[in-house]
Amino acid sequence: MKAKKIIVMILILASAAIVGVVAGSSDERTTGDKMASDIRSEELATLAGGCFWCLESDLEKIPGVLKVVSGYSGGDLDRPTYEEVSSGTSGHREVVQVHFDPSRLSYEDLLGYYWRIFDPTDDGGSFNDRGEQYTSAIYYHNEEQRRIAERTRDELDSSGKFNKSVVTPIIPFEKFWPAEEYHQDYYRKNPTRYWFYRSMSGRNGFIEKNWGDIHKNEKSTAGDTDGMQSGYDIPSDEELQRTLTELQYEVIREEGTEPAFNNEYWDEKRKGIYVDRVSGEVLFSSREKYESGTGWPSFYKPLESDNIVEKTDRKLFMVRTEVRSRHADSHLGHVFDDGPQPTGLRYCINSASLRFVPLEELEQEGYGEYLKHFD
């Protein structure tokens, strides 16, 4: 009987193992099917309409758009640089490649937005940016995209919306080269310079005159109202949780404190500026940074005091003055009255809330106006 019981137990265990394998195979098939479904749920559109910073900013606000990458298409050079393209000699256009979910956003609806964010009657450039590299174009990826692009272009042309003909060419897609990293999400990284450029370019006036608020129903409500009105596009808390480290989020949104002497910038000695990690607004400079011995970055005054907000902090059974950024509302740290002259103040700031921009990168990052601070 004992032998029989042992055999039965072995059979039971073997059956369980087989069931597990079959179930695992089923799970793998399900996962594979899901992955295939996920792959099918993303399509590409490659569009030109002048400055790719502006196209990226507008198109990323559309529900159903997964991401937008700035880059270059057309031309004969492989892997062109921004300098080569902007010179107008390479034959490339500034473009964006839009990754979108066709179950949420059709290609036709995407083009419905696209036609409204540039002047499709301009064959010499786009607003203040002149030259072929800034002209508009639709690079279609398949025949269906070609038919939709041609039909929507013809409908716009015959609508009487403009006094001139729509001249945007529709071209077969061949190659796409992503632009340099500092161009990606430029409107987020350099909001001050971006909004200055955009407001001066004539694009905003053209859109408002002809179409009104094209993102009236889709505009992000992330961040505070002051930040939005000032041109800072503040990511939602959900997005920040995805893009920030656990410590950065804890400090910035939960008023946490990073470890002393074990953070990114406490001993940073290079020349440059410190901007808000979320919004990019300018906060402090290396010229006003000093060694306080506390283990955190310390400054005796801000570089841009208008971007600093002070609040009374009564946590930890004491009264302190908290320091926050105005537009992103990031918790930065605290200010104390034990600093050096000429102010006598010590802005004790968490590295997690800051992003350092070295002196040699100020121009390309959009902070060129601060070079004079280091003369």
17-21, 80-84, 101-105, 184-188: least confidently modelled range = 17-21
Q: What is the mean pLDDT of residues 132-143?
A: 97
User: What CA–CA distances, in Å, run from 230 to 192, 217, 226?
Assistant: 9, 20, 6
* Residue the block writes with tokens 């656990």: 246
**pLDDT score, position 74:** 94
**Would you give the DSSP letter of residue 374?**
G
Extended strands (E) in 1-152:
43-49, 65-74, 92-100, 125-126, 129-130, 136-140
Question: What are 8-37's pLDDT values in tens digits?
Answer: 344 344 444 433 433 343 333 333 333 333
**pLDDT score, position 19:** 36
| Per-chain mean pLDDT for the chain | 84
272: buried, middle or exposed (CB in 10 Å: 19+, 13-18, 0-12)?
A: buried
Cα-flanking dihedrals φ and ψ of residue 126, to 5°?
A: -150, 110
Q: What is the mean pLDDT of residues 220-233?
A: 40
Q: Which residues are catalytic?
A: 51, 348
Q: What is the mean pLDDT of residues 234-261?
A: 92
Whole-angstrom distance, CA of residue 343 vs CA of residue 345: 5
Distance of CA 371 to the CA centre of its chain: 25
Domains, the chain, with CATH or none? 43-211 (3.30.1060.10), 246-374 (2.170.150.20)
12-16, 58-62, 212-216, 301-305: least confidently modelled range = 12-16
**pLDDT score, position 221:** 27
Residue 219 has pLDDT above 60, yes or no: no
129-143, 226-240, 260-274, 282-296: least confidently modelled range = 226-240
Predicted TM-score (pTM) of the model is: 0.53
119-123, 144-148, 212-216: least confidently modelled range = 212-216
Share of the chain above pLDDT 90, in %: 63
Give the list of residues 6+ apart from residue 25 with CB closer than 8 angstroms, or none.
none
Q: Which two tokens stand for residue 295?
A: 């283990």
Whole-angstrom distance, CA of residue 210 vs CA of residue 201: 16
Question: What are 157-178's pLDDT values in tens digits?
Answer: 999 999 999 999 999 999 999 9
192: buried, middle or exposed (CB in 10 Å: 19+, 13-18, 0-12)?
A: buried
pLDDT band of residue 234 (cuts 50, 70, 90) is confident
pLDDT band of residue 204 (cuts 50, 70, 90) is confident
Q: Which two tokens stand for residue 66?
A: 């997964």
Question: What are 277-323's pLDDT values in tens digits?
Answer: 999 999 999 999 999 999 999 999 999 988 999 988 887 677 899 99
Q: What is the mean pLDDT of residues 48-56?
A: 95
Residue 227 has pLDDT above 50, yes or no: no
Closest CA to 190 of 1, 355, 30: 355
Q: Are 292 and 374 in contact (CB under 8 A)?
A: no
Q: What is the mean pLDDT of residues 364-372?
A: 89
